[in-house]
C-alpha cells in the first residue's frame, strides 16, 4: 500500500507540478487515513479492500475530531483524489469514493487588517536599527506592499531584486514567475537592509538568499511566521496575524483604492480570477460595517 501512495505523490509532482508543501500536505492526510485503516477495525490488506462503507466511517470519524470543517474537507478530498488515481490507473477494481460527499465548508472571508493596524505592524521593527530589525523592516514592508506568499518571500534571491527598475522577480506557483513593482518605501527598506543589515547576518559569501536568519542561512517559512507573530504582539494587534493576513490586506486595500481586479489578480499570482473576487466581498462587508457604524453614531 505504501508503494501505491508513493507513486501517487510522484504523480502529483510530475504531472501536476505540485509544490513540495502541497505534496507534503497530501502525504500527511493520506498517512492519517492509512493509520485509521490499520487500527484493526477493518480487514484491509490492499487498497482494493477499502469499501465505500470504510470511507464513510472515516468521514464520520473525521467529523468527530477537533478539526475545522475546512480541514476535514481537505483530508476527505485527498482520499478521493488518491482513489481516483488508483482507479484511473487500474490499481483497484472499484472506486469506493464515487458516492462520497465532501463535508460542506462554510465559506469564510479572508481576515484583513485595517490601514491603521498595518501601520502599527510595519512600525514595530523600525524602533531599532540592528541588522535583524533592518531585515524585519524590509521583510514586513515587502510582504504588505507586494502581497507575496510566504514561500515566495523566503525563496527570494539577491538576483530577484532589480533596484534599477524598481522590480521584484517573484518565482510563483507552478514555476510561473511574475514581476512585482517596488514602491519607494519598500525599495528604501530593502536598500538599507542590503547596505547595513544583510552583510552582518551572512556567514557564507556564496549565500544568495535575500532574507537570512541569525545563522546566515535562508530564512524559513516557520521563521517568517514567528517574526510576524512577535511584531503583531509588540504592536498589540488583536487576533491571529499571519503572513497571509498581510497578503489578504494587500489585496483588499488595493481594491479599496480603485485598482483593477485583473491587475490585483496578476499581482497575487492567482490562476483564476474567481479566487481574487472574494476580496470584493471583503471590501463590500467593510463598507456595510462603516455604514452601520455611521448610522449608530447619528
Kindly report the backbone phi and psi dihedral angles of residue 159, in degrees, each rounded to the nearest multiple of 5, phi listed first.
-70, -15
Predicted confidence at residue 74, as pLDDT, reads 85
Predicted confidence at residue 53, as pLDDT, reads 86
The per-residue pLDDT for range 177-231, each reduced to its tens digit, is: 889 999 999 999 999 999 999 999 999 989 999 999 999 999 999 999 999 999 9
Residue 292 has pLDDT above 50, yes or no: no
Residues with active-site annotation = 149, 173, 244, 247, 270, 279
Domain locations along the chain: 2-88, 115-297
The model's pTM is 0.62
Q: Looking up cell 514567475, which residue turns up?
A: 177
- Distance between the two ends of the chain, CA-based, in angstroms? 67
Percent of the chain at pLDDT > 90 equals: 54
Task: Calculate mean pLDDT across residues 93-119.
Answer: 81
The per-residue pLDDT for range 133-174, each reduced to its tens digit, is: 999 999 999 999 999 999 999 999 999 999 999 999 998 766
With beta carbons less than 8 A apart as the criterion, state whether 234 and 245 touch.
no
Joined together, the cell numbers standing for residue 254 give 488595493
Q: Per residue, what are the HEC states of the chain?
A: CHHHHHHHHHHHHHHCCCCHHHHHHHHHHHHHHHHHHCCCCCCCCCHHHCCHHHHHHHHHHHHHCCCCHHHHHHHHHHHHHHHHHHHHCCCCCCCCCCCCCCCCCCCCCCCCCCHHHHHHHHHHHHHCCCHHHHHHHHHHHHHHHHCCCHHHHHCCEHHHEECCCCEEEEECHHHCEEEEECCHHHHHHHHHHHHHCHHHHCCCCCCCECCECCCCCECCHHHHHHHHHHHHHHCCCCCCCCHHHHHHHHHHHHHHCCCCHHHHHHHHCCCCHHHHHHHHHHHHHHHHHHHHHHHHHC
Q: Looking up cell 516557520, which residue turns up?
A: 222
- CATH code assigned to 2-88: 1.10.150
Q: CATH number of 115-297: 3.40.50.2300, 3.40.640.10, 1.10.443.10, 3.40.50.300?
A: 1.10.443.10
Joined together, the cell numbers standing for residue 142 give 515587502
Predicted confidence at residue 43, as pLDDT, reads 78
With beta carbons less than 8 A apart as the criterion, state whether 292 and 195 touch.
no
With beta carbons less than 8 A apart as the criterion, state whether 38 and 47 touch.
no
Amino acid at each position: 500500500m505504501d508503494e501505491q501512495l508513493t507513486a501517487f505523490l510522484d504523480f502529483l509532482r510530475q504531472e501536476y507540478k505540485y509544490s513540495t508543501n502541497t505534496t507534503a500536505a497530501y502525504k500527511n492526510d493520506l498517512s492519517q487515513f492509512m493509520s485509521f485503516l490499520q487500527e484493526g477495525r477493518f480487514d484491509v490488506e490492499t487498497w482494493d479492500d477499502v469499501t465505500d462503507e470504510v470511507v464513510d466511517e472515516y468521514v464520520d470519524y473525521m467529523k468527530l475530531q477537533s478539526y475545522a470543517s475546512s480541514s476535514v474537507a481537505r483530508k476527505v478530498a485527498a482520499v478521493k483524489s488518491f482513489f481516483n488515481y488508483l482507479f484511473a490507473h487500474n490499481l483497484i477494481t472499484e472506486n469506493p469514493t464515487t458516492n462520497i460527499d465532501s463535508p460542506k465548508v462554510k465559506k469564510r472571508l479572508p481576515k484583513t487588517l485595517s490601514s491603521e493596524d498595518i501601520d502599527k505592524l510595519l512600525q514595530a521593527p523600525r524602533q531599532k536599527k540592528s541588522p535583524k530589525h533592518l531585515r524585519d523592516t524590509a521583510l514586513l514592508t515587502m510582504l504588505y506592499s507586494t502581497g507575496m506568499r510566504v514561500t515566495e518571500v523566503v525563496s527570494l534571491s539577491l538576483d530577484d531584486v532589480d533596484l534599477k527598475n524598481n522590480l521584484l522577480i517573484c518565482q510563483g506557483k507552478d514555476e510561473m514567475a511574475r514581476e512585482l513593482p517596488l514602491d519607494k518605501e519598500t525599495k528604501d527598506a530593502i536598500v538599507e537592509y542590503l547596505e547595513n543589515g544583510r552583510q552582518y547576518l551572512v556567514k557564507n559569501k556564496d549565500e544568495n538568499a535575500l532574507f537570512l536568519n541569525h545563522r546566515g542561512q535562508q530564512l524559513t517559512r516557520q521563521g517568517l511566521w514567528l517574526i510576524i507573530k512577535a511584531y503583531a504582539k509588540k504592536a498589540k494587534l488583536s487576533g491571529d496575524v499571519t503572513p497571509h493576513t498581510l497578503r489578504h490586506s494587500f489585496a483588499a486595500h488595493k481594491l479599496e483604492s480603485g485598482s483593477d481586479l485583473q491587475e490585483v489578480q496578476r499581482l497575487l499570482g492567482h490562476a483564476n480570477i474567481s479566487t481574487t473576487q472574494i476580496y470584493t466581498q471583503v471590501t463590500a462587508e467593510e463598507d456595510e460595517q462603516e455604514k452601520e457604524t455611521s448610522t449608530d453614531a447619528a
